[in-house]
Amino acid sequence: MAGTTNTLVEIARLLLQRKPQEAATIIENLYEKYQTELQLLFPREGSRRIAQAAVECSFALMREMCERENFSLFEEKRILAQGELMSTAMMLRHLQDMGKKAVIIPALDFMKTDKNAEPDLPYITSHLRPLVQTAPGDTEIYITEGYICLNAYNRVDNLRRGGSDYTASLAGVAIGAEEIQIWTDIDGLHNNDPRFVDKTAPVRRLHFDEASELAYFGAKILHPTCIQPAREHNIPVRLLDTLNPSLPGTFISLDTEKDVIKAVSAKDGIIAIKVKSNHKLVSWHFLRRVFEVFERYAVVVDMVTTSEVGISLTIDNDEKLPEIQRELEELGSISVERGLTIICVVGDMKSDNIGFEARIVEAIRTFPVRMISYGGSDYNMTVLIRESDKREVLVALSEHLFSTTKSS
C-alpha cells in the first residue's frame, strides 16, 4: 500500500484549502485502489467482506470530512490515521486466512504523547501490557498500527512521518522485549547511500550512538527517534530485509566493532548561518545570546564551529529564519548560505584512534568545505559541503574509506 500516506496528506491539504471537490476526487481514486487490492488479497468472499467493512469505515469518515465547513488540523490528523487503520485490518484478516492466530491491539488504546508531544512511556507501558496479557493464550502474532497515537488531550495525533519505527521501539520497551526488529526492503543499514554509490555493503554491527547519528544525518532506513528508547533500556535493534529474510541485516546494541569507520550518510536542505560579534558583548555572553535565539524558536542546531569573534552553525528548517535573522543582527553581522549538505562519517572515532580524521579530509581534498565538526562525539565526524557536490563526495569517501566498495 505504498503511497497511501502521501495521498492522505494531499487530501488533508486540499480540505484545509477549502477544496472539497478536488479532495473527493482523490478519495475516490484511492478507494478504487483499495478495491483492487481487496480483490487480490481476499479471493474468499467471506474474508473480503470482513476486510471491506473496515475499509468502508475509513472512507466513510474521509467522505464525511469533505462535507464539513470547518476542517482543522485536528481533522487532518484523523485523516492521516486512516491508512494505518485500513492496513492493519486487512493484514489481520489475511493472516487469519493463512491459519495464523493473530489479534489487533489498537495503537489508539495505548500509544499516547504528553503535553510536549513526547511519548508518555509510563502511560504506554501501563496500557499496553494488560492488552497483551489479556489476548487469547494461543495468540502467535500481535498487530498494531505504527505512527498514530493519542495526544495529551485525547485527540488522534501522530508521531510524525517515519514514526512506525518509533512505535516499534516504544512498544518493545513497554513489554520488555528481548529484541526490536525493523523490517524494510534492504539488507540492513549500508555503509553509504546506494542511491548515489554503487555496490555499497551492509554494516553488520553498530553501536546505538552510531546508528542514531546515521539516522539523524540522512540514513532513510531508520527513523532518528527509534534508537533512543531502545538505547535507554538496552534492548538491541535488528534491521532486516523483508525480501530476503534469511540475511543477517544490521544488529544495533551497546557493543560495536572497534577501530573501524563504519558508514557515511548525507543530510540535504542545510542552511549555514555565520554570526560575527559586534563586540558589545563579552565572548561568553555572546555565545549564550546566540543559542538563546534558537531556543526561543525551538530550532535545532546541527553543526557548530566557533572562533574568537564569531560562530558558524547550521539548521535544516527555515520556517523561523526571518525572525532568527532579525534577532541575530542585534548581536553582530550575519550571513546566510543555502543549498548545503551535511556529510556524516560514523565509526569508532575515539581520540586515541590516530589518522581517521586525516583519511576523511584526504578523501574530500578536492572539494570546497564550509565547516568541519569533530570531537563532539566519539562516533562521528561531520563535514558541510555544497549540495551540488554530494554525489561526488559520497563516492570519494567510499573509495577512500571502504576498500572493498567499488563506486561509480
- Sequence ranges of the binding site for ATP: 184-185, 195
Q: Is 368 exposed, middle or buried (0-12, 13-18, 19+ CB in 10 A)?
A: exposed
Angle at 406 between CA 402 and CA 408, to 5 degrees: 125
- List CB contacts of 356: < 8 A, sequence separation 6 or more: 261, 347, 348, 349, 381
- The whole-angstrom separation of Cα 127 and Cα 132 is 9
Backbone region of residue 176 per phi and psi (left: phi > 0; alpha: psi in -120 to 50; beta: other values): left
What share of residues in the chain are helix, strand, coil (percent, to 5)?
40, 20, 35
387 DSSP 8-state letter: G
User: Helix 73-97 and helix 4-16: axis angle, to 10°?
Assistant: 150
- Per DSSP, 273 falls in state E
C-beta separation of 125 from 88 below 8 A: no
CA distance 152 to 156: 10
Spell out the residues 6+ positions from residue 124 whose beta carbon is closer than 8 angstroms to its own: 110, 111, 112, 170, 171, 174
312 neighbors 371 (Cβ within 8 angstroms): yes
Residue 142: phi and psi, rounded to 5, are -110, 130
The gap between the terminal CA atoms of the chain, to the nearest Å, is 33
Binding residue positions: 184-185, 195
Taking the mean position of all CA atoms in its chain, how far away is CA 248?
22
Could you tell me where the beta strands, DSSP code E, fall in 72-230?
102-104, 141-143, 148-150, 156-158, 180-184, 205-207
CA-to-CA distance for 326 and 304, rounded, in angstroms? 20
